[in-house]
Each structure stands twice: as structure tokens, then as C-alpha cells.
Amino acid sequence: MPSLPALLPLIVLGLGAVAAMLAAPRLPGVSRWIAGTALIAASLALGTRLGAPEGLSPLLVDDRLARLSGLVVCLSGLGSLAFLKPEGPSKEGPALLLLATLGGTVLAGAIHAASLFLGLELITLALVALFVLPLDRPALEAGYKFLILGAAAAATLLMGLALAHAATGSLALSSLGGADDPLLTFAAALLLAGIAFKLALAPFHMWTPDVFTGAPGAAAAFAGAASKVAVVTAIVRIGAMDLPEVWFLGLGTFAGASILIGNLAALRQDGVARMLGYSSVAHAGYVAAALGAGAASAPAASVFYIMAYAPALLAALCAAALIGRGTRIGDLRGLVWRRPLAGGAMAIALISLAGLPVSAGFFGKYVIFTSLIDAKAWGLLGLAIAGSALGAYYYLRFVALIFRRAHTPADPRVRWPEQALLSAATVATLGLGIRPDLLLEAVRAALP
């Protein structure tokens, strides 16, 4: 049985979600404070225990990787809460965001089929509700697509887990490896297909651009940053189980398709959110490429990459949300002169996503490329380099307009939660660009 400190983050998030849900109908402002307090408390509970001894239960593991990933998920949830609009139907947003964060924290420590499925579906169902909160056509379309495709992915995942149980007699994820069984091979393929949807790997990526465009910015930010940190952590855990070769072959195939489709589609976009949606498919491809190549350095490289990607995406989507949903490239003209904080934060975020120095994204690409070289995966390495070159081109198109002089009046003042998010995300992006070893060593220490 895990100790109370091990369960404290989950308890805080769960109780906070219930309290925020009860407060939402009459006191929507209070529900935001409840959600913020719960996320901060959970972050502190995880952060103060990063070096504590491990505790183990049949469903969840309480190790350094679970705590580190849970901490990033909670901080990303806090960042998403900062620009969640409090008015209108979005009053239920804080409670839903806490439920999604709870799912991500569970997923980060999942070592059993039950906890894996519970974590994934908590994220999925909470995000479906968050996506449709504006109750307009783009949001409803995004929510419906995510719900329908998510249901298909959940069915595929459950079928894979059921076949794995039939082959091994166990629901523990550790039972997936070490056996040469055709049934287990088929189970691993179905399991990968179900998880690939959550990570937005091609060809399971169809929901991503619509969600980034139609859903509220806070919901899209959580789906693109926090949930992917949790999903990559789960993939790293499963991949350490000596799985059938189809797992790595599938990851490599999905990675190549994601890098090509994501970058080529993003190249043609003029909408900021839609461009970020397609580019997130490419970023998921870089992570999958390292994991599919199977080098010893791949787990650390993939976890570092997705954690370095999170603050940049949060800053870019928050800055776009400040301008308005449906922001296009022309709307960025002179943004740094109209809104210095938002413009500067978005420019640094896009530079990081492009993988240019000095930013967290540069070192993220470096460790991914190094891992592919270690694995001698020259085909995936060539695709990743070509994709990065395309990414640098279309990201810099947007950056150039941000700094172009425009004779327009300054926009209204940014609210303090959004100021705090933009400042913190920018500091994290630049800080990890200057001292990437701080996060990389923490990730390496957390991995077995």
C-alpha cells in the first residue's frame, strides 16, 4: 500500500475537483481559486518528494519519473487555468481542468491496465467537456471529433489490453514483455494504436488541428502540453517491458508519417492555432522517432523533449488567445509593439518550437537527434532533420511579422494571471535553453 504522501497529490486534485464543481454554479470566481490552490498544492507535494524513496502498489508506481512528470502536468494545468475564461458557460472549466490534471497524474504512474485506462479516459472525457464549453459551432465540432475518435481509440486500447490478458493471464503492464506469442504481438499493436491517438501521431492525428482551432485556448494548451507529457511517460514505461518488435516498428512508422504530414500541413497554414496543431503532430513524431529507434538514450531524450516543448506551446497558445480565437498570421503584425509581453513571449516560444538556439527546443532537438544517431536510425534522422528545416521556415514566418512595425494603437492591458503565465513560460523556455542540464539530469535520474 502506498503511503499518504504518495497519494496526497491525487487526493488534493480529486477533492479540489469536487469542491470546484460544487462552487461553479453560484461562485465561478471561487472555483478558479479552488482549482489554482489545488494545482499549487499538488505541485508542492510532488516537488518536495522528487528525491524520496520509492513506494509501489499494484496499480500505481510512486517513483521519481511519476513525480517529475506529475509535477510538469500540474504546472501545465496551472498555466492553462491562467487563461481559462471565467465568464459564460466556462464556469465549469476549473473543475474539468482539475479532473484532466488528475488523469494525467494517474497516467504518469500507471503500471497496470486499470490505471492506464483510467488515466487516459479521465483526460479524454474532461477534455471533451472543456473543448465544447464555448457552445459555438467550432468548439462543438472540435469536441464531437475528439469524442468520436477518442471512443474508437479507447475501444482499440481495451481490445489490446484484453488480448494481452488472454495471452499472459495478467493485467500488469510488466506482463507485456518477454513472451514470444502472436496473440501478445497483436495486443501490442492494438495498444500502440490506442495510445497513438492520445499522442496525436499520424494517422490518428485528425482531431488535432480542429481542436487547436475551435476549442478554448486553455483546453487546447492542456491537450497539447500536459496530456502529452503524461502519455509520453506511459509510453516510456511500456516500452521498457521488452515488448514485441511490432511496438518499435509501429512507433517508427507513425513517427515518419507524423513528421512528414505535420510539417507539410503546417507549412500551408495561415491560422496560428491551426499551424500549432499540425506542428504538434510533427513534434509528437520526433518523440516517437527516438522511442521507435530504441537507443538506450531514447527514454531520457523523449521525456526531456516533451517537457521542454510544454512551456513554449503554453506561451504560444496563450498569446494567440489574447488576440482572439481564429488569430491569423496578419493579426501578429507588430504584436511586440502593441503588446510587448505577449509579442515577446510568442516570439521566444516559436523560436523554441523551431529548435533554434538559445532555447529549450534547440537542446530538445539535439538530444532527439543524438538518440537517433546512437540507434543508427539514419532514415528517421533524415526525416527529422528535413522536418526541422521546414519547421524553422514556417515558424519564422510568424516571428518576422511579430517584430514588423505597425502603426496601430496599443491593445488593452493583459490580466495578471496571463502576465504570470507568459512570464513564467518564457523564463522556463530561456532557462532550459541556457541550462538544459538541470532538467536533463533530473530526467536521467528519474529513469531506471
Instruction: Using the CB atoms, write b or e for 99-111: b if 16+ within 10 Å.
Output: bbbbbbbbbbbbb
Higher per-residue confidence, 26 vs 421: 421
In the DSSP assignment, the letter for residue 412 is P
Higher per-residue confidence, 117 vs 410: 117
Q: What is the pLDDT of residues 79-108, one digit of tens each?
A: 988 888 765 556 788 999 999 999 999 999
pLDDT of residue 47: 86
Instruction: Using the CB atoms, write b or e for 250-282: b if 16+ within 10 Å.
Output: bbbbbbbbbbbbbbebbeebebbbbbbbbbbbb
Q: What is the pLDDT of residues 276-323, one digit of tens each?
A: 999 999 999 999 999 998 888 899 999 999 999 999 999 998 888 887
pTM of the model: 0.93
Question: What Rg, from alpha-carbon coordinates, does the chain have?
Answer: 20
Q: Which of 31, 78, 231 is nearest to 150 (CA)?
A: 231
Bridge partner residues of 399 (DSSP): none
Q: What is the pLDDT of residues 163-172, one digit of tens each?
A: 988 888 888 8
Q: Which of 128, 292, 312 is nearest to 229 (CA)?
A: 312
Task: Please determine, for residue 111, whether its predicted confidence score (pLDDT) is greater than 60.
Answer: yes
For the chain, the domains span: 304-448
Alpha-carbon gap, residue 153 to 121, rounded angstroms: 10
DSSP 20-32: HHHHTTT-HHHHH
pLDDT of residue 230: 94
